[in-house]
Structure 1
């Protein structure tokens, strides 16, 4: 994302403001993404945050850190944006039961679906322990659960439990009392605890074991070997496919879906590894005989537990290939770099 701060309203802009605030771009993008559930909307909000900081730089008196000041601006812009927007769910959060794989899939593009975010855009820490924490705070299940909270409760939870702000700081930002912040935080925590969503399992596999599962999944999917794919799934696996509202639970229904509804045959797909929301992901490319090459098809976010793949979310929004910096067609094996699990 390129930040453009040219604004005729600023007669005397600070020449090094951009260099001072640019290091905060990734963490601000992650914060706005948690608030909004959309990487595209989050990029717009970060752009607006930088522009507002540019315009208001003369009013920054240094009573708080530059980082805190930027978070104040970004959170307020997010809250304003959320006044005009609906929550962004995943199919499993629509209060509908698992679907029958024999039923025709119906696309619902009118729903503002939750979007994934690439690790490369949201996780950047030198400390490995900090990377683990950052990935946990960006996982799809957590961001999906946040969408069930009213905007101000969402902001309070993120400020207090993710950013570790003091209650007084959050109250100052939200222009309310400390008691109101504490009450909102209590309600937000209770709401998240009560949600009957498919929670992502804790990752307990070593990097080597996780890579072995991924290699087997890619080989099975490219061969369209449904039994081999299903053998990698947990007993309670959830399979989602926005913009389709239908979702499936359990290996048997996933196998029926792959056999009945999933297009393509053996050798038609190529998969490329990437990372989304702190977890392994694969970009799917399908062979197009009309052009004689593989073309972008979907992006799958995977959750791998000790007993297998526990959650698969297939996103069919092809704009995500640009967001993730993915190529227009998969590279050859010789061109593929090692995958950072």
Structure 2
């Protein structure tokens, strides 16, 4: 293709990259997999651009490619889950955390808000983007059959018409309507979606995150009583067991996690439209990346804590593997498309 064609392709398609990344993330539950799938989407789009005849919008055309790329990927990969997707809360006798190996389960990953954030001067778009990427929703989507997942995302999240969705998926409007009904019913069975969550830039949400961070950095379980709701849940990958109820959550954290003052350090960030923090743990005298914790903050306290225990996730939020000083805020997240 000519340079002029390449420039036109970039001008027409580049502006959709962030929303396509969000779309792929909803489909596969992994920020890093979504990044790879967007790359594949643009590669396929470039290869077929000469044959694009404009019968649909460039946006619909890209979504058709991205959705089919995702469906192919989902078909050959295990479903990504959270511990709560494996069974009910643990209520047995005390026991050490029992991690599951990567060959046993594929875990859901958090998504840095900065990867997909709309322009800051469009607050309505920011709220919509956050709501459609809440952790509970994305986790629920992973339990749907792949095509039902695609139908629900295209119709209910992206507001595609039934006819547009049918075109994207190469099916009929009747099949789309039927699939949407089944998808909504199955998502409801997976559990209600929280409706009272605070935005991460709300002062109350920030205060709850500060309290959670202080509890860890001071090794003070009593502070958690001021942060967690009575019905709070706690789950952490790569562990199967998870806890329900503030008493059970605090007991596990106090007996198995908090350690001594100075053992933990956290750096505030935002993930999936939730207040979050990159987590560091002291080892060999250095604060080393340990994972990312995401809080579901409400007006009455934190209703859910999810700790993603994968040190490699910290880099996606623009932070180093080893923390040498306390930054005021999270670093600039690594831009999608960069390695």
Which runs of 5 or more structure 1 residues have no equivalent in the other structure? 1-9
Tell me, in whole angstroms, the C-alpha distance in 2 between the residues paired with 1:97 and 1:216.
25
What is residue 170 of structure 2 aligned with on the other side? 175
Equivalent of 1:283 in 278, 284, 304? 278
Q: State how 1:1-341 maps to structure 2 within 5 Å.
A: 14-16=5-7, 17-100=9-92, 102-108=94-100, 109=102, 110-125=104-119, 126-196=121-191, 199-204=193-198, 207-262=202-257, 264-288=259-283, 290=284, 292-330=285-323, 332-333=325-326, 335-337=327-329
What is residue 334 of structure 2 aligned with on the other side? none
SS of the residue corresponding to residue 107 of structure 2 reads coil
* Count of paired positions: 327
Report if aligned partners of 2:230, 2:246 keep a CA contact under 8 Å in 1. Answer: yes
SS of the residue corresponding to residue 240 of structure 2 reads strand
Over the residues paired in the alignment, what is the CA RMSD in angstroms? 2.2
CA gap 1:148/1:58 in 2 versus in 1, 3 angstroms: same
The alpha-carbon deviation at position 204 of structure 1 amounts to: 4.5
TM-score scaled to structure 2, two decimals?
0.90
Report if aligned partners of 2:213, 2:266 keep a CA contact under 8 Å in 1. Answer: yes
Report if aligned partners of 1:27, 1:122 keep a CA contact under 8 Å in 2. Answer: yes
Which runs of 5 or more structure 2 residues have no equivalent in the other structure? 332-339
The alpha-carbon deviation at position 12 of structure 1 amounts to: 8.2
The alpha-carbon deviation at position 274 of structure 1 amounts to: 0.4
Alpha-carbon displacement from aligned partner over 1:41-72 (angstroms, at most 9, x marks no partner): 11111010010011001111122221111111
- Which portions of structure 1, spanning 4 or more consecutive aligned residues, are displaced by more than 6 angstroms? 10-13
The alpha-carbon deviation at position 238 of structure 1 amounts to: 0.8
